[in-house]
């Protein structure tokens, strides 16, 4: 085994001669339940070659244990996750975003809701590292998509101590808590990219983190006008967190190319789509009060005469991704929003 470089700080773990690498890492709690790649010094060195940042630079303080996380520790977990070195700058940006007060990773872990970090990647880096924004973009099959999101989760687990059944208190959880990462399809989109809509420059690469649950399908194969399609979208969005939950929960809408063409054909921009969805999601209080419609859940009866928006003004994100065939889109429901829970966070990807 090669000697450790003198500028590395991570603790070396020596396995016994009779120990199986994979089983030893399971026993030490380093995995998410799936096998991981042994982070040998040689593999970590190769991973660190993917960034110009120094190995001992502190990237973030990772909750819930509020442990300092260096570039080297991120690299170790990127190796465990199966990343290639060129993915490391994206993982670093995702870790930085997740550990902000605004994103509130500690709260996201501790909630009993289904949610976890959703990573949307934009900019030139998506092509440089071969990310998937098209067919099966939210599913398996692409190494970059799968391992970048997994590396973030392993950093939170192994550095921050965010383990399921301990601080991670999700009642049911969901498969996206292994990894939930994809690229936006910018080339085929009728709109400006998500990171541009959130204030960055078109030529930059960026990650946007959203506290989201598993995606749910949204099908409308007959609407041929933006008005009709937006009405279908709004009806599905009303069920986020429950049909009577209002104001406190965000959502991400992943619009497929075929649905995007319907909106573009009517001349709707991303901003127009969001405005139209908000307009269709202003709900009479009489439909939302406790007991209305035979549903015990609901708002205080004092709101019966009000008109209440489903989402806060900044509570809807729109992303373009997916295969070119199928009039299907997706909704990713959020966790508690804003000061109550989590804000979406966008960070540039460095080198």
pLDDT of 225 above 80: yes
**Integer Cα distance of 305 and 171 in angstroms:** 35
Whole-prediction pTM: 0.94
Residue 181's φ and ψ, nearest 5 degrees, are: -145, 135
Query: What DSSP designation does 6 have?
Result: T
* Tally of CB atoms within 10 A around 159: 24
Task: Give the pLDDT of residue 302.
Answer: 94
CA distances from 330 to 142, 249, 287 (A): 19, 17, 25
Q: How confident is the model at residue 6 (pLDDT cuts 50, 70, 90)?
A: very low
Q: CA nearest 274: which of 233, 325, 321, 219?
A: 233
CB 217 within 8 A of CB 322: no
Q: What is the pLDDT of residues 17-28, one digit of tens each?
A: 778 888 998 998
Question: Percent of the chain beyond pLDDT 90?
Answer: 92
Q: What is the pLDDT of residues 108-131, one digit of tens each?
A: 999 999 999 999 999 999 999 999
Average pLDDT, the chain: 95
Mean predicted confidence (pLDDT) in 303-314: 96
Q: How confident is the model at residue 8 (pLDDT cuts 50, 70, 90)?
A: low
Q: How confident is the model at residue 13 (pLDDT cuts 50, 70, 90)?
A: confident
Task: Give the pLDDT of residue 339.
Answer: 87
**Extents of the domains making up the chain:** 21-348
**Integer Cα distance of 200 and 184 in angstroms:** 15
Burial-class residue 105 by CB neighbours within 10 Å (0-12, 13-18, 19+): buried
Task: Give the pLDDT of residue 1.
Answer: 35
Round the CA-based radius of gyration of the chain to a whole number and report it. 21
């Amino acid at each position: 085994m090669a000697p450790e470089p003198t500028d590395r700080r991570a603790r070396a773990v020596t396995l016994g001669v009779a120990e199986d690498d994979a089983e030893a890492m399971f026993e030490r709690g380093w995995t998410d339940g799936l096998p991981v790649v042994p982070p040998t010094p040689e593999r970590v060195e190769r991973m660190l070659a993917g960034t110009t940042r120094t190995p001992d630079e502190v990237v973030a303080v990772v909750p819930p244990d509020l442990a300092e996380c260096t570039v080297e520790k991120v690299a170790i977990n990127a190796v465990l996750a199966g990343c290639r070195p060129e993915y490391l700058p994206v993982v670093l940006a995702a870790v930085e975003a997740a550990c902000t007060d605004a994103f509130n990773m500690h709260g996201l872990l501790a909630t009993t809701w289904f949610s976890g970090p959703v990573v949307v990647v934009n900019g030139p880096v998506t092509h440089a590292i071969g990310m998937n924004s098209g067919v099966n973009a939210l599913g398996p099959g692409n190494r970059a998509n799968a391992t970048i999101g997994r590396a973030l989760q392993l950093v939170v687990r192994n550095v921050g101590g965010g383990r399921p059944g301990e601080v991670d208190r999700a009642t049911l959880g969901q498969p996206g808590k292994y990894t939930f990462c994809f690229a936006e399809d910018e080339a085929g989109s009728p709109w400006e990219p998500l990171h541009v809509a959130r204030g960055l420059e078109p030529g930059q690469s960026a990650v946007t983190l959203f506290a989201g649950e598993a995606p749910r399908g949204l099908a409308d194969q007959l609407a041929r006008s933006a008005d009709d399609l937006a009405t279908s979208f709004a009806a599905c969005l009303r069920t986020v967190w429950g049909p009577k939950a209002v104001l406190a929960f965000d959502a991400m809408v992943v619009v497929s190319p075929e649905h995007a063409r319907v909106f573009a054909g009517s001349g709707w921009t991303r901003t127009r789509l969001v405005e139209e969805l908000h307009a269709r999601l202003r709900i009479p209080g009489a439909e939302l009060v406790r007991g209305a419609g035979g549903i015990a859940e609901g708002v205080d009866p004092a709101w019966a005469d009000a008109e209440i928006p489903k989402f806060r003004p900044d509570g809807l994100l729109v992303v373009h991704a997916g295969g070119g065939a199928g009039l299907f889109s997706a909704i990713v429901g959020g966790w508690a929003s804003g000061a109550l829970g989590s804000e979406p966070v966008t960070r540039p990807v460095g080198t």
